[in-house]
Amino acid sequence: MSGAEALRQGQEAGGPAQPLLQVRALKKHFPIRGGMLGRTVATVNAVDGVAFEVAKGETLGIVGESGCGKSTTARLLIRLIEPDSGEVRFAGQSVGSEIPVAELRHGVQMVFQDSFASLNPRLTIEDSIAFGPRVRGVAEAEAVHKAHDLLRRVGLDPAQFARRYPHELSGGQRQRVNIARALALAPRLLILDEPVSALDKSVEAQVLNLLVDLKQSLGLTYIFVSHDLNVVQYISDRVMVMYLGRVAEIGPVEAIYRDARHPYTRALLSAMPSMDPDRRTQEAPIAGDPPNPINPPSGCLFHTRCPYAEAVCQSTAPALAPVKDRHSAACHMEIAGSGHSKARPAA
Amino acid sequence: MTAIALPALPPTRGYWSAVGRRLLQDKVTVACGIVLLAIILAAIFAPYLGLADPYRGSIIRRLRPIGTPGYLLGTDEQGRDMLARLVYGGRLSLFIGLLPVFNAFVIGTLLGVTAGFVGGRLNAAIMRTIDVFYAFPSVLLAIAISGALGAGVLNSVVSLTIVFVPPIARVAESVTTQVRNLDFVDAARASGAGPITIIRVHILNNVLGPIFVYATSLISVSMILAAGLSFLGLGTKPPEPEWGLMLNTLRTAIYVQPWIAALPGTMIFIVSICFNLMSDGLRSAMDVRR
């Protein structure tokens, strides 16, 4: 039995313990061409050796400032962009070698930030949702029927909405349509790239609740990319913090929000206003802009803005080191014997 | 637009029926459409309209003024009936006005959409080649190609097609590049659709509209260039009635019968302004989002 067939029948190695998605050393460098001959004059390390896992049924939140590579990571996962190197395993199967990209896209779908740009303005809502199944060879009547089912699932009455065009809908309604479109191929993993960032707060809450409901009723797994720390805290089981294309810290949501170890994570969280005066973080707010990704700093990428930076931070890049159970941070202060004055001595 | 928000109303119909409805509400477009339709139908059915023979001249009845009994629009420098020549002239003039634009629309869209969708080196190869044609003013280019190919109607169609392919391809390329980078194309790729399906379902119906509007605005240019080629003796040959050529041969009579000499130019003016106004109307009708 080939890997693809095994996937379809849900018989994959490892059972429930097998992570749905495993990412290893994922890299994407964008060349910047210049000069008369279009030679590569510089590269942007958009995603630089990212590694993580997503368990079945969990929600992994990815946070970071603009330009930290979170959207590029999302697009790499569904192969809208080809990675330079690294491995993505979906349900235990290596994408590209054991299962083809087409098969990956059966199991993984994506919801984009811009609800208007992600719907074809010339297609009706039902045609947009039915497009995926139609491409996969589902008969038209059946695909339209399925589209109506999905519209009901995301809380839109098909009789009222199915034949409308995207410009006749509100932002929240369009994002519901985008979710329905992503669900049309019955994926197991949904990549949500800033799905609520462009919505009003009240609509945002409705769409988030819809996502939580859908996850439970359909047994989905989410990767939720956002720069909104409150939203990520609400929806995620685990959180991954990215900085300039690398993972700064990853761990369970409570650990990240209560006991962040990386100075960058702490600085991000301190920028988040707390409702409780006693729980205010005492961390200094982060200073300056992120460094230019074309010429990233040496060593730890954060040392230019880090209040605890020492000599070792400038020379060596810290590896992601385990802090506690399932909680890791890429900081010399957490690496025993790293040479940082705050690090524990080597065991 | 407000009515759509009411649930009781039937769902919106297809995009093109909405465009059609809006076109019919636009008085200027409808008026231009009627004028053009009348001119085109008259040209097609000219032999059945009971007109005089457009080739038969008469030395003694040369350059009769407009309104002469039996010659509603007078006669030309060889005594031929101007009304008949203007109606028959529409056949060739419209043909060499419309056909090059249609050809260029097909070729230019093909090149531009391919370049825009594939991008990279193919885009550079196609677009830089097209840029070469931009080095020449369009009139000069048309004259040069026509001159090289020799006079004749088909040769002027070929030369005008070559003149119009670059601008249409360029518009097609820029619209396609814009649409290709929108998220719905990525979403379609993520659904597993191949490039042909994506172009057919998601690219073409978003780019054809703007390209078509641009192409219709070129019809008037094409008619004027075609008339110019005939004027220079590179298009139609006498005694064939064609508006540009008629303008040339009547030019010598401009001091004797200025109104007669102006008639072919008036026809070119009416037809090209009608096409231009219609393309404006089409553009606003296709902007359904308003």
More confident residue, B287 or B193: B193
Average pLDDT over residues B70-74: 75
B186 in any annotated domain: yes
Give how far A235 is from chain B: nearest CA, Å: 23
B63 in any annotated domain: no
This prediction has a pTM of 0.81
Average pLDDT over residues A98-127: 89
Average pLDDT over residues B140-169: 91
pLDDT interval class at A272 (50, 70, 90): confident
Q: Do A105 and B192 touch (CB under 8 A)?
A: yes
More confident residue, A298 or B12: A298
Chain B interface disruption, residue of A78, A79, A122, A183, most B CBs within 10 A: A122
B16 in any annotated domain: no
**Does the beta carbon of B188 lie under 8 angstroms from any beta carbon of chain A?**
yes
For residue A168, pLDDT over 60 is answered with yes
pLDDT tens track for A13-51:
567 778 899 999 899 988 887 766 667 778 888 898 899
ipTM given for this complex: 0.83
Whole-number pLDDT of residue A338: 80
Average pLDDT over residues B211-238: 85
B175 in any annotated domain: yes
pLDDT tens track for A54-80:
999 999 999 988 888 888 999 999 999
**Does the beta carbon of A131 lie under 8 angstroms from any beta carbon of chain B?**
yes
Whole-number pLDDT of residue A34: 72
B7 prior amide bond cis, ω within 30 = no
Contact between A125 and A169 under an 8 Å Cβ cutoff? The reply is yes
| Domains located in chain A, CATH noted | 16-259 (3.40.50.300)
B26 in any annotated domain: no
Q: What is the mean pLDDT of chain A?
A: 86
Whole-number pLDDT of residue B286: 79
Q: Domain with B271 in it: what CATH number? A: 1.10.3720.10
Segment holding A191, helix H or strand E: strand A189-193
Name the least confident of A29-38, A252-261, B203-212, B222-231.
A29-38
Give how far B67 is from chain A: nearest CA, Å: 53
| Tokens found for residue B191 | 């659904």
Contact between A218 and A41 under an 8 Å Cβ cutoff? The reply is no
Contacts by residues A264-271 (CB-CB < 8 Å, ≥ 24 positions apart)? A264/A302, A264/A305, A264/A306, A265/A241, A265/A329, A267/A305, A268/A63, A268/A65, A268/A229, A268/A241, A269/A229, A271/A229
Per-residue buried b or exposed e for A279-315, using 16+ beta carbons within 10 Å of the residue's own CB: eeeebeebeeebbebeebbebbbbbbbbeebbebbee
B112 in any annotated domain: yes
Q: Do A168 and B4 touch (CB under 8 A)?
A: yes
For residue B1, pLDDT over 60 is answered with no
For residue A132, pLDDT over 50 is answered with yes
Q: Do A106 and B202 touch (CB under 8 A)?
A: no
The Cα–Cα gap between A75 and A95 comes to: 14
pLDDT tens track for A236-251:
999 999 999 999 999 9
Percent of chain A with pLDDT over 70: 91
Chain B environment of A167 (Cβ under 8 Å): 288-289
Average pLDDT over residues B17-24: 82
Average pLDDT over residues A294-301: 84
Domain region containing B116: 41-52+68-286
**Does the beta carbon of A209 lie under 8 angstroms from any beta carbon of chain B?**
no
| Cα→Cα distances A163→A3, A111, A135, A185, B15, Å | 39, 21, 20, 20, 11
Closest alpha carbon within chain A to B120: A38
Average pLDDT over residues A118-137: 91
Whole-number pLDDT of residue A14: 61
Whole-number pLDDT of residue B128: 93
B217 in any annotated domain: yes
The Cα–Cα gap between A30 and A176 comes to: 33
Structural domain count of chain B: 1
Contact between A163 and A125 under an 8 Å Cβ cutoff? The reply is yes
Segment holding B181, helix H or strand E: none
Give the number of beta-carbon pairs within 8 Å between A and B. 82
B255 in any annotated domain: yes
